[in-house]
Amino acid sequence: MKFNCGKPGISPDAASLPFGYGHQTRVLILAGRANFDGLRTVPLSLMAAACREATISRIAGDKTMTTFYAQPYSIDHTGFYFDSLEAFEAGMEKLNAKGCEEVEIQFIDGECGLTRLANAAGIGQGTVALWFEELDDLDTEQIDQLCFLLDCGFDLEDALTRYEEVCIFHGSAADYAQELIEETTDIPENLRFYIDYDAIARDMGYNGEIVEIDREVIVTNAHEF
């Protein structure tokens, strides 16, 4: 579905343009867009506005800003976008003044790994501060570690205390099996080429010793959790 925003010279598809420029980039954010990244639809009550403009200052090399939407549970109130704890608190203060206290937090846009983390962590109204204070700046490996624990059933606070214990190997399961065996076993040279590392890796997976959480991203101490 496309909308004519009535702004000559600005494409509705501008929101999908890549960032990273050293100047201000005008971005159109469609209000009420349907099915945004698999999340619940932003209410169609916002459709009257059709779209709004946001001016985002980007400096070359900066990461994509993480953006959320605070959706009131009450249909009598309108939500707001935010990309910082300060913006969230300011938006909630305005909603509170209108008698609205509870909102659903919807992840809208951000770095690829943070999208996965937001979904796994189930960020809600009570954990917005935790997101901006501790989660938003995690690197890719830390996100992998944390998501593994969340997928194992840890709650967010417990996962944050233990994620550094998760050991990550980058490569295939067979690569890990070969590296482990060569480091721990004295293999005669004449037998080295007869070892089936793929089969060993499969057995390690069946035994719960390793878990592949992404393509060539292996948790090597999965049995400890």
Asked if residue 114 lies in contact with residue 136, where contact means CB atoms within 8 angstroms, the answer is yes
The pLDDT value given to residue 62: 53
N- to C-terminal Cα separation, the chain: 45
The pLDDT value given to residue 99: 94
Integer Cα distance of 63 and 123 in angstroms: 20
Give 191's Cβ-side CA count (13 Å radius): 8
Residuewise pLDDT in 10s, the chain (225 residues): 333 444 334 333 434 333 333 333 333 333 333 334 444 444 444 433 333 333 333 333 455 679 999 999 999 999 999 999 999 999 999 999 999 999 999 999 888 889 889 999 999 999 999 999 999 999 999 999 999 999 999 999 999 999 999 999 999 999 999 999 999 988 888 888 899 999 999 999 999 999 999 989 999 999 999
In DSSP terms, which residues pair with 29 in a beta bridge?
A: 52
The pLDDT value given to residue 111: 83
Please give the single-letter amino acid code of residue 200. I
Under CATH, which number does the domain 168-224 receive? 1.10.10.1190
- pTM: predicted TM-score of the whole model, two decimal places: 0.64
> Dihedral sign, CA of 24, 11, 47, 39?
negative
Tokens for 130, please give them.
Answer: 């935790």
Residue ranges per domain, the chain? 1-62, 64-138, 168-224
The pLDDT value given to residue 113: 86
The pLDDT value given to residue 110: 85
E strands, the chain, where? Answer: 24-30, 51-57, 67-72, 80-82, 103-109, 168-170, 211-214, 217-219
Residue with tokens 């343009």: 17
The pLDDT value given to residue 138: 93
